[in-house]
Amino acid sequence: MSILSQLNSPGMYLICGGIIAFVCAVCVVFMVRAWRAGLAIGMDATKMRRAVTASATFAVLPSVGILLGVIALSGSLGTPLSWLRLSVIGALHYETQVAEAAAEAVGLPGLSASAMTPTAFTTIALLMGVCIMWGMVLSILFNRKYTSRLSTPREGKAAGGGFGDTAMTAMFIGLVSAYIGSYVGSFVSGNGRFTFSGSLLPLAVVAVAALAMAGFIWLAEKKNAAWVDSFSVAGSMIVAMAAAVLLRGI
């Protein structure tokens, strides 16, 4: 039996599928509890429904991108582990890098099914899990204190007022700016400093997505089509990704 057939055996699917089913149940429990708590504190059910709809539509396209990560990894690690890694704590940008580095650390020439052995596979699986689990460990240890400190109103200030909200928006602006800055840097200096010969495609995609979003916001604000809000991010992404296909090679 080849190594890939062993890695794709029903037993492996059962182990990984079982863990994913557990995580799925956790999500459902948290969602139902949050919904009930929202109603109990007098929140508008329509608003909560909008948040769920917007988040669900928002998640579809990035999820297809994550599925591509599963496909990319499945050639060397088998489908069940790749599926598990990208469904539980995994991250698209992390998995391939760590899988490659882990393969080298266990003495493989690279991440490929031809060189994979069962021992190397289980060691890589353990390494991939342990390297990224710290967010959960910190959540167990500190989440209660950390979040209660963040939501406790300081003297003279109500929760939700003050600088907290602006700081969160600013942090998000910083996050987006770091990524857009990296696309600018890749274009200008990606193939040597100031050579302007890197790929322009990510920047073009950013611009098209921003333009599409401007269109959606115009519809929502000027044409009173508030319902487009829920689909504006997913819609802008589809337009920008379609543009990437048309603009490839720039």
- Footprint of another protein on 8-67 (CB under 8 A): 9, 11-12, 15-16, 19-20, 22-24, 26-31, 33-35, 37-38, 40-43, 47-48, 50-52, 54-56, 58-67
Q: CA-CA distance, 165 to 226, in Å (whole number)?
A: 23
Q: Do the beta carbons of residue 132 and residue 91 sit within 8 Å?
A: yes
Give Cα 174 to chain centroid, integer Å: 17
Taking the complex as a whole, the smallest distance from the CB of residue 142 to another protein amounts, in Å, to 8
Q: Per-residue x/- mask for another protein, residues 67 to 86, rule CB under 8 A?
A: xx-xx--x----x-x-xx-x
* b/e per residue 54-80 (b: at least 16 CB within 10 A): beeebeebeeeebeebbebbbebbbbb
Considering only residues 207, 218, 221, 225, which one is a binding residue for another protein as defined by CB under 8 A? Answer: 207
184 CB burial (10 A radius; 0-12, 13-18, 19+): middle
Taking the complex as a whole, the smallest distance from the CB of residue 242 to another protein amounts, in Å, to 7
Taking the complex as a whole, the smallest distance from the CB of residue 33 to another protein amounts, in Å, to 7
Considering only residues 2, 110, 175, 218, which one is a binding residue for another protein as defined by CB under 8 A? Answer: 175
Amino acid at position 58, single letter: F
> Number of helices (H) and strands (E), helices first, in the chain?
10, 0
Decide if residue 109 touches another protein (CB under 8 A): no
**Of 184, 222, 189, 190, which Cα lies nearest the Cα of 204?**
184
Considering only residues 146, 218, 221, 225, which one is a binding residue for another protein as defined by CB under 8 A? Answer: 146
Taking the complex as a whole, the smallest distance from the CB of residue 201 to another protein amounts, in Å, to 6
Considering only residues 73, 76, 111, 230, which one is a binding residue for another protein as defined by CB under 8 A? Answer: 230
Q: CA-CA distance, 82 to 74, in Å (whole number)?
A: 6
Number of residues counted as binding another protein (CB under 8 A)? 157
Taking the complex as a whole, the smallest distance from the CB of residue 112 to another protein amounts, in Å, to 17
Q: CA-CA distance, 182 to 125, in Å (whole number)?
A: 30
Considering beta carbons, is residue 76 or 209 the nearer one to another protein?
209
The tokens for 159 are: 């929760």
Decide if residue 194 touches another protein (CB under 8 A): yes
Which residues between 126 and 145 bind another protein (CB under 8 A)?
Answer: 126-127, 129-140, 142-144
Taking the complex as a whole, the smallest distance from the CB of residue 11 to another protein amounts, in Å, to 5
Taking the complex as a whole, the smallest distance from the CB of residue 219 to another protein amounts, in Å, to 14
Considering beta carbons, is residue 42 or 109 the nearer one to another protein?
42
Q: Do the beta carbons of residue 239 and residue 208 sit within 8 Å?
A: yes
